[in-house]
Chains A and B, each alone.
Chain A
Amino acid sequence: MSERAALVARFPAAFAPNWSARVQTIGVVGGAVGLYIFGLVTLDFDPSRIMRGFARLGDIFEMMLPPTPDSWSRGQLYFEALIQTLSIAFLGTLMAAILAVPLGFLAARNIVANWLLHILARRGLDTMRSVDTLIWALIWINVVGLGPFAGALAIMTADIAAFGKLMSEAIETADRKPVEGVAAAGGNRLEAIRFGIIPQILPIFASQVLYFFESNTRSATIIGIVGAGGIGLYLSEEIRVLEWQRAAFLILMVLVTVAIIDQISQRLRAAIMGNRGR
C-alpha cells in the first residue's frame, strides 16, 4: 500500500480522476435512469399489481402443462395452419425479392445517376419500412379479404423496402472491374449489368432471401392475430379462451418449426456463400 502511495505522489496526473469523462458518464447514465423512472411513474406501474400478475403468470404456466392439442383432429388442423404459415412466409419473401430487384437498381447510385429519382426511391422505401407487418395485414385484408393471401401480401409489402435497400447497397459496393471489362469487350449497358454485376450480387442476394425467409417465418406465426391466416389465428384464439394446454402446444410447434427452418437456411446460406469463395 505504501508503494501505491509513493506511486500516486510521483505520478499525480495518472491517478487523478478524469472529471470530464466522469461527468459525461454520470450524465448519460443518470439521464437514462431518470427517463426510466419517469416512464414507470407516467405509465402508472404499481408494484403490487406486478407482483399479483407474476403470481397469476405462475398459475398460467402450471395450467399449460402438459402441452397437448386435446384431440387428433385438432392436431391435424394445427398442422395445416403451420403449413399455411410456412407458405405465407415463403410466398411473401419471394414476391418481395422479385419486386425488390428493379427497385434496388433504381435506388443504386451507380446505376441510376439521377439523384432525384434516387432520393425518391430511397425515401419511398423508408416510409414503407416504418409501417409494421401487422398494420399492412390489416390494410390488405380490406383489399383481398380475410385469409392467408392477405398475410403473404403484408409480408411482401413490409419486406420490399428492406430488400430494396440491401439490394441497392450490394450493387453500390459491387466491384467495377467486371463491368468495365464487359464494356471494353463491346458489351452494352444491359450486358454490363447482366455479366458484370449480377454474378457478383446474386449469391449475396440469395443468402439475404434465405435470411428474410427465416425471420418472416416468425412474423407469419403472428399474422393470424388480425385474421390474415396461419397458425397465429389458432394461437390467439386459444389464448383468448384460456385453453392454455393447446396454446402451449402451438407455441411449441412454432419453436420447433423456427428451429428447423433456421438450421436448413443456415446450411443453405453457408453453401451459397461458400462455393463462391472469399
Chain B
Amino acid sequence: MSRAGQLVGRDTWPHSMIHTIAIPPDAQMAPLMRGYAASVSARRRQMLLGAAIAILAFLLACIGAEVDPDKFWANLGNFGGYFYRISKLDTGSFAWTDPVEWYWGLGRWLRLLGETLLMAYLGTATGFVGGFLACFLCSRNLVARAWVRFTARRMLEFCRTVPDIVFAQIFVIAFGLGPLPGVLAIAIHTTGALGKLFSEVVESIDMKPVEGVAASGGTWVEQIRFGVLPQVLSNFASYGILRFEVNVRGATVLGFVGAGGIGEELLLAIRKFFYSDVSAILLLVAICVMVIDLASEHIRHRLLTIEGGKT
C-alpha cells in the first residue's frame, strides 16, 4: 500500500496521467496507516484464534472418532476396489455387458421400490395433515394463549428431533415387521418438521383478511379457512413436496431395521457380499431419487409461479 503511494506521489507524478490522486504528506498519512495496520492485525488475530480453535476441535474429534490414518490409507484402495467389485458379475464380466443377468431380480426390486415410494407418500401425507392441524396452534398471530403454543411447539420439536429410524425401530416392536411401522415413523417425523415450517409461514401472513372475517362474525375455524388458507396453501404444498423428496431418501433405509421397503434387500446384499446386486439396487435407488428430485423441483417451481400470478 505504502509502496504504491510513493510510486504515484513522488516519482511519476509530473509525467503521469493519474496525478489527480493526492497523496497526503507522511505526517498526515502515518496515523491513517497505523489505524489500517491495527485493524488488519486485529482481524488477523481473530482469524488465527478461530483457526486455532477449529484445529484443536478437529484434533480432539479425530481422537474421539478413533481416526486411524494408517488404516485409512492402507484400505483406501478398498474403496475403489469395492466399487470395482460391485460393478462385476459372478461370471467376472462387467455388469453392464449382461443387463439381464445383472437385473435378474428386477421385478422384485421394482415392487420393493414401489413399496418404498408408497411408504414415503403415506407417511408424508399423514404427516402433512398432522403438521397442518398443529401449525395453527403454535402460531403467535392466531393463538393468544401462550401455554397452548408452548405445548404444541415442544411436541413438534420432540417429533422432529428423534430420528425417524429410531421411531421405526420402536414401532417395529409394537406393530410387527413390515411397512406399517415405517409409515408411522415417517408420519411422526414429518409432522414435526412440517408443523414448524408451516407455523413460520402462518406467522408471516397478512392479517387483514383474517380481521375481515372476524369482523363479519366468522368463527376461529372460519377465520383460518377464509382468511389464512388462501394465503398459505401454495407454500404448504411446496414444503410438503420437498418433504416427500426427503422422505423417499429416508424410506430407502428404513428397511435396515425391518420397517419395509427396499432397504432390507440392500442391507442383505451388502452384508452377504452379493456384489452385483448391491450395484443394481443402488443404481435403481439413485435413479428413482433423482427422478423424484427433478419432478418435485418442477412442480414446486410451478406452484410458486401460481402464487406469484395471484398476488
Binding site for B on A (CB under 8 A): 32, 35-36, 38-40, 42-45, 49-50, 53-54, 56-57, 60, 83-84, 86-88, 90-91, 94, 126-127, 130-132, 134-135, 138-140, 142-145, 147-149, 151-152, 218-219, 221-222, 225-226, 229, 235-236, 239-240, 242, 247, 251, 254-255, 258-259
Contact = CB atoms under 8 A, between A and B. Distances in A.
Contact of B290 (A127, A135, A240, A251): A127
B118 interface: yes
B282 A148 contact: no
B180 A50 contact: yes
B286 interface: yes
A32 B165 CA distance: 26
Contacts of B63: 87
Interface of B: 54, 57-58, 60-68, 71-72, 75-76, 78-79, 82, 115, 118-119, 121-122, 125, 158, 161-163, 165-166, 169-171, 173-176, 178-181, 183, 249-250, 252-253, 256-257, 260, 266-267, 270-271, 282, 285-286, 289-290, 293
B88 to A, nearest CB: 15
Contacts of B250: 132
Nearest to A91: B61
A24 to B, nearest CB: 11
Nearest to A250: B166
Given A86-B64, A127-B286, A142 B122 contact: no
A218 B175 CA distance: 25
A142 B165 CA distance: 22
B122 A229 contact: no
**Residue of A60, A83, A134, A239 most packed against chain B (CB within 10 A):** A134
B164 to A, nearest CB: 9
B71 A222 contact: no
A60 B174 CA distance: 8
Contact of B125 (A36, A132, A218): A36
Contacts of A247: 170
Contacts of A126: 290, 293
A45 B178 CA distance: 10
A216 to B, nearest CB: 12
A168 B148 CA distance: 43
Contact of A218 (B82, B158, B161, B290): B161
A134 B249 CA distance: 11
Contacts of A91: 58, 61-62, 64-65, 67
Nearest to B260: A43
Contact of A239 (B75, B76, B173, B249): B173
**Residue of A84, A144, A152 most packed against chain B (CB within 10 A):** A144
B290 A148 contact: no
B285 to A, nearest CB: 7
B115 A43 contact: yes
A53 B163 CA distance: 20
A138 B79 contact: no
Given A135-B266, A226-B256, A229-B66, A142 B78 contact: yes
21 contacts: A36-B122, A38-B118, A44-B178, A49-B175, A49-B176, A53-B180, A87-B60, A87-B65, A88-B64, A130-B286, A134-B253, A138-B271, A142-B78, A144-B75, A145-B71, A149-B67, A218-B161, A222-B163, A222-B165, A236-B169, A239-B169
Q: How would you classify the secondary structure of chain B's contact residues: helix, strand, loop or mixed?
A: helix
Given A130-B293, A143-B75, A43 B174 contact: no
Given A53-B180, A127-B286, A251 B166 contact: yes
Contacts of B57: 90
Contact of B76 (A32, A143, A221): A143
B290 A132 contact: no
Contacts of B282: 131, 135
B105 to A, nearest CB: 18
A127 B271 CA distance: 22
B162 A255 contact: yes
Given A60-B173, A254-B161, A39 B118 contact: yes
B230 to A, nearest CB: 12
Nearest to A218: B163
Nearest to A142: B82
A36 B120 CA distance: 11
A5 B99 CA distance: 70
Contacts of A134: 165, 253, 256
A51 B290 CA distance: 36
Nearest to A36: B125
8 interchain residue pairs of minimum CB distance: A87-B64, A53-B175, A130-B289, A87-B61, A148-B65, A87-B65, A57-B174, A134-B253
A42 B170 CA distance: 23
A93 B285 CA distance: 24
A225 B164 CA distance: 12
Contacts of B290: 126-127, 130
A143 B270 CA distance: 13
B185 to A, nearest CB: 12
A43 B118 contact: yes
A13 to B, nearest CB: 19
A53 B177 CA distance: 11
Contacts of A131: 282, 285-286
A234 B180 CA distance: 24
A42 B118 contact: yes
